[in-house]
Amino acid sequence: MPASEAIRHALLIDLDGVVYQSGHLVEGALEALDWIRARQVPHLFVTNTTSRPRASLLEKFEELGFSARPDEVMTPVVAANQWLAEHRVHKVALFVPAETQRDFGGIEAVAVDQDAAVEAIIVGDLGDAWDFKLLNRAFQFLMQEPQPRLIALGMTRYWRGRNGLQLDVAPFVKALEHAADCEAVVVGKPAPAFFEASLAILGVSAGQALMIGDDIVGDVGAAQRCGIRGIQVRTGKFRESDLDGEIKPFALLDSIAGLPAWWERELEPGS
């Protein structure tokens, strides 16, 4: 398909659980990505990963055997920096991994054990660095008057790691919302603003786009609420009981490896 032809469909691609899982590429993922690029399907990797900065995310891809340009990757940290600039927020407390703190360059971050007034606290996936003391500090910041805003880097509930299912950022955000009686600003999946910003980057409409993900709620359901068709894969955190709920994916694939054949058969036959 020559690049000058009208764009028919674009693709948003979740990474963890779709392209790789437990530190390894999903079988056939590389070939599927090669196909997407060769066919010049407009695409964006949309990930809620906040456990490492974007630069180190790209390094990780290289180790896994594929490469991506920074502007091919949309993360909640990118969206958070946009939000902070728009709302002129300058003083925050960061509850994100030390490495990711680098990606918050233009703002003043107070130490989390410091008793200083802040305008917002930013909460990412701290994984097993979470303990009572740290979560309680986040809570104490939120009980300042006036109350700082709570910014959530995504609302992923859990992911599948080497030791089974692991809590992600959302449960900790829910804990803080309930304790401090506030509502988080979500700057990652499943927030509609995150999908809309991704569509704007690609320059396509919701009706032209598809989202491929392993999270029936955070990927498929959230995309479909924005009018983006969702493709559910059976890799990553997927469980068969995910299909018993209200969310009905537009398509169901065993893995991303099946995407090219499905695309050519069901979505763009005869092209």
> Which spans of this chain sit near its own copies (rule: CB under 8 A)?
126-133, 135-136, 139-140, 143, 145, 157-158, 164-167, 170-172, 174-179, 181, 241
Q: Which is nearer to its own copies, 38 or 165 (CB)?
A: 165
| Nearest of 46, 94, 89 to residue 210 by alpha carbon | 46
Shortest separation between residue 155's beta carbon and its own copies, angstroms: 9
Q: Which is nearer to its own copies, 25 or 135 (CB)?
A: 135
Q: Which is nearer to its own copies, 28 or 171 (CB)?
A: 171
16 DSSP 8-state letter: B
Shortest separation between residue 56's beta carbon and its own copies, angstroms: 21
Residues 157, 161: Cα–Cα separation, whole Å:
13
Query: Beta 164-167 vs 158-161: how paired, if at all?
Result: antiparallel
Residues 187, 84: Cα–Cα separation, whole Å:
11
| Nearest of 74, 44, 45, 70 to residue 56 by alpha carbon | 70
Shortest separation between residue 15's beta carbon and its own copies, angstroms: 21
| Nearest of 198, 102, 219, 104 to residue 151 by alpha carbon | 104
Shortest separation between residue 46's beta carbon and its own copies, angstroms: 21
Residues 40, 11: Cα–Cα separation, whole Å:
11
Q: Which is nearer to its own copies, 198 or 235 (CB)?
A: 235
Shortest separation between residue 191's beta carbon and its own copies, angstroms: 15
Q: Which is nearer to its own copies, 35 or 158 (CB)?
A: 158
Query: Nearest 5°: phi and psi at 61?
Result: -60, -45
